[in-house]
Structure 1
Amino acid sequence: MNEEEIVEKLQKLGLTKYESLAYITLLKLGPSKATDITKESGIPHTRVYDVLSSLHRKGFVDVMQGSPRLYKPVNPEVVLEKIKEDFIEDVENLKVAFLELYREVHGEDLPEIWTIQGFENTVERAEYVIRTAKHEVLINTPFEFLKLLKSEIRARKDIVFVIISNFDEIPDWLKGNNIILARSGGAPWLMASWIIGDIDYALFFGALPKDKRREKFYSFWAKSPKIIQNYMHWFYTIYLDNSEIIKPLNYATAPKPLSLVNIRTLITVLKYVELPRKIEVIGRLVDTKEPVTLDGEITEYEYTPLTANITVNASGKEWKIGGIGSYFEDVEGEKFILLD
């Protein structure tokens, strides 16, 4: 990235052009006098003190008192992390404020499904699903689209991916220890593409567009645990169960603890490891809906198109634990944390 591009990005973060130039100059020179900064950056001498004072207020520069006064750049990692934290906090506060404004007028929650227009907007939403997931991402899509998500997938080593695509071979960027790969097979592949993050977000679309129709492309964006719960079930029973696993998760080298929210993802992992396995389950008792946390060992599992559950020995008792929406089992599991 050249200096002009850096200045442009700093301006997007709220710095003026002169402030951006001054900070970049200090990173090059280290602690410096105002006159040195003027010579190196081209900032007019009449402006440089105001610029440096503003950078000090914004947390980019420390002032070293003395004669002459020196200005020292604050560590960029510290500065950017603070900006990131403030930005995230502002976004969360805006989300709350926007929801309150919406409900004042409409008296209801936001719709659970939205239509997304434009192929580029769909790609951005898919990237967002991957970026914001905390536990797992399920992807069923042609390799042509999967390649567009390469950088986001490579950046997430801390979550589990289950990816179904029309693979010819496995590229290096999909060989991570945290990735399960399946080669699509049969008619179910022709139905749709899905990108699902935890039970928070899901993106759905049909055939990929031709170049001339990219702006007319439509996809569907869901933010509803009840709907996404069904999507996750379909992902496994329609797509994964009709596909060939070509790369299981490398459980031995995957980071522990390993947290998942989908019972079928958990069992897909367990199929390639020996039992028993230590686990912590967070969920609710099916009969009373009371919160419960169980620490124990998985001794077996059951997996069919209609049923998915694990058996856990905990607190001197054998528990049947299913996923969200369970009603046959003892516990409705909301989070599954594999400990060893």
Structure 2
Amino acid sequence: MLETDNLIYYSYNRTKCDKVSSSLEREIEELFDELGINRIYSKIYIGLIKLGGKGTVEDLIKHTGLSRSLMYKGLKELEKLGLVLSLATKPKTYVLSPPKENLKRLVKNKVKSLIERTEHVTSIIESALITHIGSIEPVYSTIDGWNNIINMVHFVIKSAKHEILMFIPVNFVNEYIVDLAEARSHGVYVDLTISNISSMNSRIMDKDLLKVATIVRARPYGSRLIVIADNRMVLLAPLAWVSGEPLGIRALLAEDLDVTFIFTSYYHGRIISSSLVIRRNINVGDKYTFVNIGTALDFIQHAKKYKYELLAKVRGLDNITKRQVILEGSIYDVILKPHKGIFSLLVDTGGVIYTIGGYRAFIEDISAQEVTIEVTDPVQDYLSKNSNLQ
């Protein structure tokens, strides 16, 4: 190892370096390709290795066969990249910089650049999709036969990744207990409304049943089955009754944002308002990501009954700049009036309060795509911020 003017470079055994394998040359060329470095520069770099880590322009020309102009240009670029150093000798000598340190630095910079570019591109794509969401072709399907309807409900529940709103007659709840419990165990928010409840009988008070959903409601009547998954898929099955048994006339499955939004608004405005909450399974540490603002607001109202502290993280579109934004803060207020179509969340980001709306919101500051709510203990939060009190 030699040291000149506080610059350290590596001196290789010239005899060994003359035998640089073709496989090593390919490895270096491929690495330079992935880093976006010209093949000519990799040839010069390999030439320096073969020369034992140092050499003059004349030495490199003999080893590589490159022209003088290309050699000077290549060495200049390699110096800019920090892979080669030049020494003030006569004639000027070029040496390799420590390869492990400098190649890793280039890789790290490349990865950072790719991540930043990816975030920029995905932001543009998401903004374009939201702007032109109306042009996305909706999908509708009809399901005939009660058995087919039962199986499709299983499918819709299992496909949910964030939230499930379900309105179902009490006779069929047991069919889906396992599916709902599994969904909830994976962090899916489940709002279950059970209809045709004439009294608070033992079936509805069953402990296992009350655990399968975050919110469990009861309603005395209802002749339909509705399942909404992630604000993107809804199944509606009007039910007829023959001798006490259900007859599925025909179910509609819609994968359409507009239709799902309408049914979700109906669920919040009509079904929830006419149902009785019989169980809230909300605990400190719960964390749900909602894709429907109405569902998020309803959950917040329930959680606040326990005096929990709620933190919010919102990902959505700024309605003024039309750019993707992410906000984090505490819940300041909730404005939920489903019968008037008003769904709005106020988030305090630390002195600045933003209004958050849902799908295609335009009055609020942000049109939310996802709202993540985390339930925390206000006492523990206070103590953690004031550790000297513990």
* Short-chain TM bin: 0.5 to 0.7
Q: Match for 2:154: what amino acid? A: E
Q: Match for 2:191: what amino acid? A: V
1:141 to 138, 145, 168: 168
Match of residue 183 from structure 1? 218
Q: 2:337 aligned with 1:304, yes or no?
A: yes
Query: Which has the higher Rg, Structure 1 or Structure 2?
Result: 2
Q: Match for 2:189: what amino acid? A: V
Render the CA deviation track for 1:174-199: whole Å, top value 9, x for unaligned.
222752011115xxx54632101112
Render the CA deviation track for 1:125-154: whole Å, top value 9, x for unaligned.
111111111111001121112222122112
2:153 to 104, 116, 126: 126
| C-alpha separation in 2, matches of 1:211 and 1:309 | 45
Q: 2:146 aligned with 1:113, yes or no?
A: no
Structure 2 CA distance for partners of 1:179 and 1:276, relative to 1, 3 Å: closer
1:236 to 253, 264, 268: 268
1:172 to 207, 212, 220: 207
Cα pair 1:249 1:269 within 8 Å, conserved: no
1:326 to 361, 369, 375: 361
Q: 2:267 aligned with 1:267, yes or no?
A: no
Match of residue 294 from structure 1? 327
Name structure 2 gaps, 5 residues minimum.
1-134, 377-390
SS of the residue corresponding to residue 326 of structure 1 reads coil
Q: Match for 1:249: what amino acid? A: N
1:257 to 287, 290, 302: 287
Shifted more, 108-117 versus 231-240: the winner is 108-117
Deviation, 1:208, is 4.5
Structure 2 CA distance for partners of 1:256 and 1:337, relative to 1, 3 Å: same
Structure 2 CA distance for partners of 1:280 and 1:222, relative to 1, 3 Å: same
Q: Which runs of 4+ in 1 moved over 4 A?
A: 108-111, 211-216
SS of the residue corresponding to residue 206 of structure 1 reads strand
Deviation, 1:256, is 3.6
| C-alpha separation in 1, matches of 2:312 and 2:244 | 51
Match of residue 310 from structure 2? 277
Cα pair 2:142 2:250 within 8 Å, conserved: yes
Q: 2:191 aligned with 1:159, yes or no?
A: no
Identity of matched residues, %: 18
Match of residue 230 from structure 2? 198
Deviation, 1:165, is 1.3
Q: TM-score, normalised by structure 2?
A: 0.54
Structure 2 CA distance for partners of 1:192 and 1:172, relative to 1, 3 Å: same
Q: TM-score, normalised by structure 1?
A: 0.61
Render the CA deviation track for 1:102-125: whole Å, top value 9, x for unaligned.
xxxxxx976522111111111111
